[in-house]
Every structure is written in structure tokens, then in C-alpha cells.
């Protein structure tokens, strides 16, 4: 079946004539008569090429192109502007907003066919290279989030990462995902904490490249690599940069065997975009009734994102010794969901680890906490080995 071409033009004669001509060449044709309809079809149908008019009443082709380039699904879709605007300045604007080629009306059908064929051939070659790169290296991405705040989500992410690195001797990245609430720079003795903020502040998604993301990572003496979030509260506004978040996670997945995302608490808007990219989601809770209720609701909400419940697992983290906390078996029964790991209180160990600026599992490798994390590492490595 031929490539799909979306034609966006308010001139019905152009839609009919150009569409028929390209259909005869073996292409699938989809049509839109205004800019917004064109955007909706582009995001829904994922065409191989977009043939776009500039002069349209509701939204001109320049604005349509800008919006297409702001969406990860169409950021690289070839756009051929096809318009009666013939001035050089018009062409320059077209290229500046992201068009790949520019033809003026009227044009000979042979030239239009040649331009379409050339753009599709270049994109096919580029996608082929991208697929090869993806197959070369695509890490196992784990999202870690808390049912509510203060449950030790960051601590679990770091110690799981240390356990995976120790076990597999492979590269592991820990990424803080909440700008303005970063804690790892201070806890782990690192100074550069602007990596995530710099990436989320980029105005063009095309600037979020693998090399750019790699350059923001900070190496630690433990062997781990970190993408750090700042601790400046004013940076919190960047949590709305959902497209940037998605692009960053896609790049991180190509940089290490394991990527662990510290997603904070609850289901932030950016987490809704990131979680479908994760191979495994771990929810941290403690054994008290209200938190169990929050966790059940969180699992239900995550499942509405199209994520299978078998890829969402609970970790019970009892941070303090208290008779009010329920044992693991009761928590699992009330939660009606599997608990894959239980961590018992070890406050002295974690205070020592903070002083030494290292993960607790490396601070005392023979501790009960290290053995409990090791069981979680067993689970993750087993899941990673399963066919995808």
C-alpha cells in the first residue's frame, strides 16, 4: 500500500485535482479544508507527507506548520507548501517555520510528483536510520511515583538504580522529573543541577537530541549517571512542558540499559505523557489505610492511559516503626494488587548514606535494606528479559 499524503487546502478544486493525480501515482490521499481540520487529521492519521496551502481563512499554512513542528508525532513529517504566494519573503517564512519544500501555483504535475517522491524518499531513508539506531540500543525505562508525598520515592529510585548497576555492570541513569523540587544534587554531593531545567526550557523539540541530553547527565562516584532537577521553586512552571518531557525520555532510553524516572507524587500532566513510554511503573506506598485508598485510585487512573495493570506494581515502603502500619499481606489484600517488594524501616542507614553522599545499598551492602532492594532488582531484571 502506498504512502499516505494529507492535503490541506481550502480550495476544493485543488483538493480534487491534486488528490486524484496523486492517487493515480499509488498514494493514499486524505484531505482537509482548513487548518484546524488539517491539524486534527495529521495528529490522528500520522501521514507520510503533508501538502499544505498557505492562504487559508481560519489559520494560515505558516501557523499550521508551527503547530505541526511543536508536536512530537509530526515534528519530522515532511511538509510541502503549495501556494500562489510567489514572493521570496513568503518562501523564506515557509522554510523558517519548518517547511521542507515550497512550490508555487500553478505548477506542472510532473514537478509536483517529483518533489513529493523526493521528500518521501528522504524521509524513508531517515526513518530507516532512526529505526536502526533504536534497535541498536533501547533501554528499559522504569517510572517510580508515590501515591502521595513523603513516601521515599526518590530514595527508592536511587537505591534501585544502584542495585541494578551493581548486578548488571551496565549503565544506569536516574532522572529527576520535577523541576524546582530536586533533591539528589545535595543528597549525592553533586553541584550541577540544571540539566532537566535546561532541556525543558528549549523552545524547539528538534533541539532535544541524544547528544544534548547526554551532555546534561552528571556522573557520580557510584557509577550512576543523573539527570538532575533544580531546587529553585520558580522552576516549577516547567512541568507544563509535556512535549519536551516526552522527547527527553525518548532520548534517555537510548543512552543506558536502565533508565529510572523519579516522577514525584500522583499523576502530574507530564507523567501522563511519560508513563506510556515506561516498560515498568512502580508505585510507592506505605501500610496505612488512606494511602492504600490513594494507591488503588492511582492504579485505576494509570490504567486509563492504556497501560496494562501487569506493568504497574506496588512497592511497600514502611519508613518508620509503627504499630499503625499494616503488614504486607494485609496491604496486598486491601489493595487488590501485587506488592513486588517490601522495605522495612532503616532510618539510621539512610542518615548515614546521606552523610556519605552515596546510595544506602552501597553504604552497607550486607544490610537488610540492601537484600530487600536486591529482591526488587531480581524482579526488574526478570521483567526486562521477557519478550516485549
Q: Give pLDDT, residue 363.
A: 92
Q: Is the pLDDT of residue 189 over 50?
A: yes
Q: How many residues are listed for the chain in this entry? A: 388
Range 204-223 average pLDDT: 92
pLDDT of residue 133: 41
Residue 317 to residue 331: CA distance in whole angstroms: 11
First to last CA, the chain: 27
CA dihedral over 184, 186, 190, 196, signed as positive or negative: positive
Residue 288 · residue 319 · CB < 8 Å: no
CA gap 328, 268 in Å, rounded: 27
pLDDT of residue 128: 55
For the stretch 312-362, pLDDT in tens is 999 999 877 767 788 888 999 999 998 999 999 898 999 999 999 999 999
In this predicted structure, what is the pLDDT of residue 86?
64
The span from the CA of 362 to the CA of 190, in Å, is: 17
Could you tell me the domains of the chain?
Answer: 4-134 (3.40.50.2300), 138-385 (3.40.50.300)
How do residues 132-178 score in pLDDT, each as one tens digit? 444 445 799 999 999 988 889 999 999 999 999 999 999 999 999 99
pLDDT confidence band for 280 (50 / 70 / 90):
very high
Considering only CA atoms, which of 236, 246, 143 is closest in space to residue 182? 236
Average pLDDT over residues 282-290: 93
Amino acid at each position: 500500500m502506498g504512502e499516505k499524503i494529507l492535503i490541506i487546502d481550502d480550495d476544493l478544486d485543488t483538493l480534487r485535482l491534486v488528490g486524484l493525480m496523486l492517487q493515480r501515482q499509488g498514494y493514499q490521499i486524505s484531505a482537509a479544508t482548513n487548518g484546524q481540520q488539517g491539524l486534527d487529521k495529521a495528529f490522528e492519521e500520522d501521514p507520510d507527507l503533508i501538502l499544505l496551502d498557505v492562504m487559508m481563512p481560519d489559520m494560515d499554512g505558516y501557523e499550521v506548520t508551527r503547530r505541526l513542528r511543536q508536536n512530537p508525532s509530526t515534528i519530522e513529517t515532511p511538509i510541502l507548501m503549495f501556494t500562489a504566494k510567489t514572493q521570496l519573503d513568503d518562501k523564506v517564512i515557509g522554510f523558517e517555520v519548518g517547511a521542507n519544500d515550497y512550490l508555487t501555483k500553478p505548477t506542472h504535475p510532473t514537478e509536483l510528483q517529483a518533489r513529493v517522491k523526493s521528500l518521501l524518499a528522504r524521509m524513508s531513508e531517515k526513518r530507516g536510520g532512526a529505526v536502526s539506531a533504536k534497535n541498536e540500543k533501547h533501554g528499559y525505562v522504569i517510572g517510580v511515583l508515590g501515591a502521595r508525598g513523603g513516601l521515599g520515592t526518590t530514595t527508592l529510585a536511587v537505591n534501585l538504580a544502584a542495585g541494578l548497576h551493581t548486578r548488571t555492570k551496565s549503565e544506569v541513569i536516574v532522572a529527576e522529573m520535577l523541576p524546582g523540587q530536586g533533591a539528589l544534587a545535595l543528597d549525592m554531593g553533586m553541584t550541577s543541577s540544571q540539566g532537566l531545567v535546561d532541556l525543558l526550557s528549549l523552545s524547539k523539540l528538534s533541539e532535544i537530541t541524544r547528544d544534548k541530553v547526554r551532555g546534561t547527565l552528571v556522573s557520580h562516584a557510584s557509577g550512576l549517571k543523573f539527570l538532575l532537577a533544580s531546587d529553585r521553586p520558580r522552576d516549577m512552571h516547567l512541568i507544563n512542558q509535556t512535549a519536551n518531557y516526552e522527547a527527553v525520555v525518548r532520548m534517555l532510553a537510548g543512552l543506558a540499559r536502565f533508565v529510572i524516572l523519579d516522577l514525584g507524587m500522583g499523576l502530574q500532566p507530564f507523567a501522563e505523557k511519560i508513563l506510556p513510554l515506561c516498560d515498568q511503573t512502580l508505585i510507592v506506598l506505605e501500610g496505612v489505610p488512606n494511602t492504600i485508598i490513594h494507591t488503588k485510585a492511582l492504579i485505576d487512573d494509570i490504567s486509563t492511559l492504556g497501560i496494562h495493570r501487569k506493568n504497574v506494581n506496588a512497592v511497600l515502603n514502611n519508613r518508620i516503626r509503627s504499630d499503625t502500619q499494616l503488614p504486607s499481606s494485609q496491604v496486598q489484600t486491601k489493595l487488590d494488587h501485587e506488592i513486588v517488594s517490601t522495605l522495612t524501616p532503616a532510618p539510621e542507614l539512610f542518615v548515614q548514606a546521606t552523610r556519605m553522599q552515596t546510595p544506602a545499598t552501597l553504604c552497607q551492602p550486607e544490610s537488610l535494606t540492601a537484600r530487600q532492594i536486591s529482591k526488587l532488582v531480581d524482579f526488574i531484571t526478570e521483567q526486562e528479559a521477557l519478550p516485549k
